[in-house]
Amino acid sequence: MSDSNTNSSLNAAGNQWLGNLKTNLDDEAVKQLDSAIKSSKFLAEEINAAGEANLGVSFDKNSAGILYNSGDEKVHIGSDLSGWEAQGLTAAPIAHELAHALQINGNPDNVSVPDQGIDGALEKSHTEEGVAYAAQYIVEQQAGLSDGLINTKQQSLTSTLSAFAQQNGIDVSNLGFDPNPPSVSADQQLASVAGEWSALANPSNAPNLTYDQSTVV
Ligand SMILES: [Zn+2]
């Protein structure tokens, strides 16, 4: 087939996994993903890990959300991906869900990424959510994407993580993906900050409203 079907940032398993994903995405989403993979080492390594783990993907055009379900161990991509695509952010929720699916201690059941700045997040585990938010943040930074995290919360998680990275001398542009990283690694430190932040953040001024209660699944 043509050269556009392989990506030099990926190994054979990663390219095969990505090829399957692409058959269910439209041209614009494919373009955004290819571009992000070329500039994000972390995303390329997540996709290689997905290929090596033979991670399943299910396309549910009639359902909302993009999520990892630890019950069937598949990433489910629903109609919401088009909303991310419209913002140029196709790679962001994929990076987020791959972190849930692949990283040790990163897979709460049925976790959905936040949805267009409204309240589409089912956050069963705020701490483990940090792993996925950190992955999303790293990929957005490496690929030069606009901020897909900021719209979902009152405060900016992105600026919180950027400040932490700067204070601790973490070079985000150089971070790679490790399915089982040591707790002292830079991405795990970012995940810890993101998890703490996520647990404290509320989606509105309602004092008792948490993400779990505000979710439409
Ligand atoms: Zn999540």
pLDDT tens-digit profile of 162-183? 999 999 999 999 999 998 888 8
Average confidence score pLDDT of the chain: 79
Number of independent structural domains in the chain:
1
Cβ-count burial 150-169 (b if 16+ within 10 Å, e if not): eebbeeebbebbbebbeeee
pLDDT tens digits for range 130-167: 888 999 999 999 999 988 875 555 668 899 999 999 99
Distance 149 CA to ligand 1 centre (A): 11
Distance 169 CA to ligand 1 centre (A): 26
- How many CA atoms does the CB half-sphere of 13 hold within 13 Å? 11
Q: pTM score, two decimals?
A: 0.81
**Of 128 and 48, which is predicted with more confidence?**
48
Query: Residue 78: its pLDDT value, please?
Result: 85
Distance 151 CA to ligand 1 centre (A): 15
Q: Residue 81 is part of which domain span? A: 3-214
